[in-house]
Amino acid sequence: MSRAARVLALVLALLPLGCARPIEPARVAAVTTPPSAAAPAPPAPTWPDAAPAPDLPTPEASAETFVAREELPDVHFASGEIHVDRRDLAALDAAAAWLRANPSQLVIVEGYTDVIGPRAANLALAQRRARWVMDFLVTKGVPAERITAVARGETGLLCADRSPGCQSRNRRVHFLVRDSEPVQLSASPSR
């Protein structure tokens, strides 16, 4: 069979496929419901035998509250740095000594930055600062299980002015502590 005959046979074989009518998607009638007034939500179930909710202490009086202490002053950093200024090394040594002397205290190490630079970069820098301080405290004998490093970035500014002196106050690590004694919770209300 010649080449022309093969091409002709192939075209004739495919011709019915090319002439087939396209399949149309099924037509669906749109069903709409007339707008009606919104039905009120059913009331929440009430349980006649339910005990009243217990009175809980206010957050200020809770043992779960972390607070700042004057024994743990902020430590400061140069712009873009993760190591503290030399003058703050003594404050870190004192913080480590206080934490070793108070083994029931848990500590949150919060890293802050100034507003110079992108927020994402500042948040990462704040995390590295907090982590550096945490590692410093661990090398000084404070158990790592008692320390939580948190990045706060540009939040919590102490000074909003863009002057270098003002911004240097924002580049810091702040300490918050609370007692680690177990909290006694009761499932029954006190009367």
Query: Mind giving me the DSSP string for 5-43?
Result: HHHHHHHHHHHHHHTSPPPPPPP-PPP-----PPPPPPP
How far apart CA 55 and CA 186 sit, in angstroms, is: 11
Q: Is the confidence at residue 48, as pLDDT, over 70?
A: no
Confidence grade of residue 11 (pLDDT, cut at 50, 70, 90):
low
Confidence of residue 3 (pLDDT cuts 50, 70, 90): confident
Query: Nearest Cα to 111, choosing from 137, 74, 161, 147?
Result: 74
- In the predicted model, is pLDDT for residue 104 greater than 70? yes
Q: Sign of dihedral through CA atoms 126, 82, 174, 57?
A: positive
**Tens digits of residue pLDDT in 31-41:** 444 444 555 66
Torsion on CA atoms 147, 137, 133, 168, rounded to nearest 10: 120
User: Which position has the higher pLDDT, 59 or 172?
Assistant: 172
Beta bridge partners of 151: 111
Which sign does the torsion angle of CA 64, 65, 71, 72 carry? Answer: positive
**What is the residue-averaged pLDDT of the chain?**
77
Q: Does pTM surpass 0.95?
A: no
Instruction: Compute the distance between CA of residue 179 and CA of residue 146 in angstroms, rounded to an integer.
Output: 10
Burial class (CB within 10 angstroms; exposed 0-12, middle 13-18, buried 19+) of 31? exposed
pLDDT, tens only, 112-129: 999 888 999 999 999 999
Supply the pLDDT for residue 52.
52
Supply φ then ψ for residue 109, to 5 degrees.
-105, 110
pLDDT digits (tens, 9 = 90+) for 107-166: 999 999 998 889 999 999 999 999 999 999 999 999 999 999 999 998 888 888 778 888
What is the per-residue pLDDT for 149? 95
Q: 142 and 100 in contact (C-beta within 8 Å)?
A: yes
Q: How far is CA 165 from CA 79, 83, 99, in A?
A: 11, 18, 30
pLDDT of 64 above 50 = yes
Mean pLDDT of 76-84: 90
Distance CA 62, CA 39 (A): 42
Confidence at residue 47, expressed as pLDDT on a 0 to 100 scale: 53
Contacts of 85 (CB under 8 A, 6+ apart): 75, 76, 77, 78
